Structure 1
């Protein structure tokens, strides 16, 4: 394995009823003003909002509401949140939602303690966080991104049409609450999309050097099989607690930095989807589902050893007398078949991308990563987009 330094400071409370059981005691460590952040309001319909507000009220906290965080958090929404936090001298940000809410709140926690432009200083390029951001707590209501246990935040600058993420350890939440029952009311498409995002995160890490036997790849294979198995169960029964709890922890494990240890990581497909999302505002997991099989067909010959291992160890495809190239392609095809099985889109048209969109402009805006088995050119990225039509 490659050398690494590991850090994860978030304390996790997992299981049914964890919010009622632990939140009030946790709040004693923070001041009186809590900025309660959430998305489109679904938490008000499913009872989660009332449950959280009840605990905050009983703990004598002043609540500053910050609703309306969009599914692809924008820099303008981040700036709005920063202003609200500063105006009210907030003591704690409490993010209640999925990855978009978490990411937006991490950026707000940074900006609330910073006087400059956080986009130019921390997202347009990597910066150094040499100060303490505003404390952040997270209550997860939609599993998938794994953003709850890292310092990563993906933000879209609408004006520049750039969607990019950075991971700063100081942006890790102080505490995270994972109640699988909070995910029961998530619509089926969103649930499946989130689970595929989890699978995508694991694949992006797995399909990178080193290829020699290592702990991270072994864990990744187990996680991928777990996602596939439990997603099938959850589709049939959305309130299967074991399936939903496994999918929730799969998402966290995929992005709490553990399986990245000693790995180069790829994330070229994520970079491509980010820019596709910046131009179209498409669903993140669904966009990845469209791109992944095509992208992998472009790189699997170069990374044939790992792709062949993926075929046999994750999908159970027998080796027989097949070559590595044959097995590698069969593994990619198995992934494509699974995407169809779970009802994810397989083309840009099915994703809702307009036919006349300028794919060349999107391709040229994509960042080229260094960890892929094959370093793409912008021309090849355009070819992938075109093949996805």
Structure 2
């Protein structure tokens, strides 16, 4: 294994009624001014808002609401939230929602305490934010991204058409109650779960020359995610499957799978830029791209793909090349089984997806060096055209 330092920043409260049981005690450690951040209002329809707002009121907190965080949070939305946090002298930001809400709030917490433009600092100068960010807590209502488990955030700068990873404040605590996910639309649940599967695959297929503990855990997370997604195909309200998927989502992004090894998130880089040019769903975009991407990658890592095929998909083929191909094909079949999109034109996007747009997506995709193959922009374009 590679050398590493591992520290886990987030305390997790998991299970039914976790907010009612723990949130009041958690809040006692923070000041009186709370920024309650959420998205489009679904938490008001399913009762989560009333529960969390009630606990905040009972705890004597002064609440400032920050709403309307979109599915691909923008840099302008971050700036809006940071301004609100400064003006109201916020002591704690409480993000209630899925990965987009949590990601937006991570950067808000850091941007609110500095006059520097953090997009300029991180994305242009490749620097590190300074200053102590406002404390952040997360109440997860849609699992899949694992955003509650780390300090990374994906933010879209519409002005320059870049959707990229930034790093700021990891949540101090996270409340994971599977019941909070029960009112989500079926496709949102499945696309979120596929994002979890993608995180584990992208970690596993990073360049790593020897078997290691992290790989074995990643394979187990992938296998469990597939099993529980198939359970939801039979019963979308199965609580055990929902709870397992909520925890595999967390496991895929709490750093455990990544310690001591290199990772390859090239497929995410492609989808991020697709998301910068369109408004497609992240998990669904990944579902379209992954099989085509792996068909271009597997020859550079045949033994790794063969192990993935046998361990995750139960492929019995003894020849590594054939097993690797069968694993990719089975992944593609699983995506169809889940009724996830398999072509870019099936994505619900207000922006027309054309070869010309895909050329722009490919040319602006960040190329990562830690995979078994370093792709070119032309190869990324070829992959995207195969997906159209």
Q: TM-score, normalised by structure 1?
A: 0.97
1:301 alignment partner, SS class = helix
What pairs with 1:207-356 in structure 2 (closer than 5 Å)?
207-320=205-318, 322=319, 324-352=320-348, 354-356=352-354
What pairs with 1:188-207 in structure 2 (closer than 5 Å)?
188-207=186-205
Compute the displacement of 1:124 (Å): 3.6
Residues 128, 92 of structure 1: CA spacing in aligned structure 2 closer, same or farther, 3 A cutoff? same
Q: In the alignment, which residue of structure 2 is the partner of 1:185?
A: 183
Compute the displacement of 1:289 (Å): 0.4
Conserved in 1, the CA contact under 8 Å of 2:121 and 2:129? Answer: no
Residues 355, 139 of structure 1: CA spacing in aligned structure 2 closer, same or farther, 3 A cutoff? closer
Compute the displacement of 1:351 (Å): 1.3
Compute the displacement of 1:234 (Å): 1.9
Conserved in 2, the CA contact under 8 Å of 1:188 and 1:235? Answer: no
Question: CA-to-partner distance for each residue in 1:317-343, whole Å, 9 max, x for gaps?
Answer: 1034x2x21111111101000000001
Q: In the alignment, which residue of structure 2 is the partner of 1:122?
A: 122
Find the aligned partners of 2:62 and 2:122 in 1 and give their Cα distance.
Answer: 30
Residues 7, 124 of structure 1: CA spacing in aligned structure 2 closer, same or farther, 3 A cutoff? farther
1:95 alignment partner, SS class = strand
Compute the displacement of 1:72 (Å): 0.3
Find the aligned partners of 1:147 and 1:43 in 2 and give their Cα distance.
Answer: 18
Compute the displacement of 1:125 (Å): 4.6
Q: Which runs of 5+ in 1 are unaligned?
A: none
Find the aligned partners of 1:192 and 1:88 in 2 and give their Cα distance.
Answer: 38
Q: In the alignment, which residue of structure 1 is the partner of 2:370?
A: 371
Conserved in 1, the CA contact under 8 Å of 2:98 and 2:142? Answer: yes
Question: CA-to-partner distance for each residue in 1:137-175, whole Å, 9 max, x for gaps?
Answer: 00000000001010010000000000001334xx11111
Q: In the alignment, which residue of structure 2 is the partner of 1:30?
A: 30
Residues 173, 355 of structure 1: CA spacing in aligned structure 2 closer, same or farther, 3 A cutoff? closer
Find the aligned partners of 1:99 and 1:124 in 2 and give their Cα distance.
Answer: 24
Find the aligned partners of 1:241 and 1:211 in 2 and give their Cα distance.
Answer: 38
Find the aligned partners of 1:237 and 1:32 in 2 and give their Cα distance.
Answer: 42
Q: Does 1:62 align with 2:70?
A: no
**Stretches of 4+ aligned residues off by more than 6 angstroms:** none
Aligned residues, how many? 385
Q: Does 1:386 align with 2:350?
A: no
2:26 alignment partner, SS class = helix
Residues 94, 342 of structure 1: CA spacing in aligned structure 2 closer, same or farther, 3 A cutoff? same
Q: Which runs of 5+ in 2 are unaligned?
A: none
Q: In the alignment, which residue of structure 1 is the partner of 2:39?
A: 39
Question: CA-to-partner distance for each residue in 1:253-294, whole Å, 9 max, x for gaps?
Answer: 000011001111000000000000000011000000000000
Find the aligned partners of 2:196 and 2:363 in 1 and give their Cα distance.
Answer: 27
1:94 alignment partner, SS class = strand
Conserved in 2, the CA contact under 8 Å of 1:126 and 1:166? Answer: no
Find the aligned partners of 1:6 and 1:123 in 2 and give their Cα distance.
Answer: 25
Compute the displacement of 1:352 (Å): 3.8
What's the RMSD between the two structures over aligned residues?
1.1
Question: CA-to-partner distance for each residue in 1:329-387, whole Å, 9 max, x for gaps?
Answer: 11110100000000110001111452435211111001100111110000000000111
Compute the displacement of 1:235 (Å): 2.8
Find the aligned partners of 1:122 and 1:370 in 2 and give their Cα distance.
Answer: 19
Q: In the alignment, which residue of structure 2 is the partner of 1:112?
A: 112
Find the aligned partners of 2:197 and 2:95 in 1 and give their Cα distance.
Answer: 24
Q: TM-score, normalised by structure 2?
A: 0.97
Conserved in 2, the CA contact under 8 Å of 1:140 and 1:178? Answer: yes
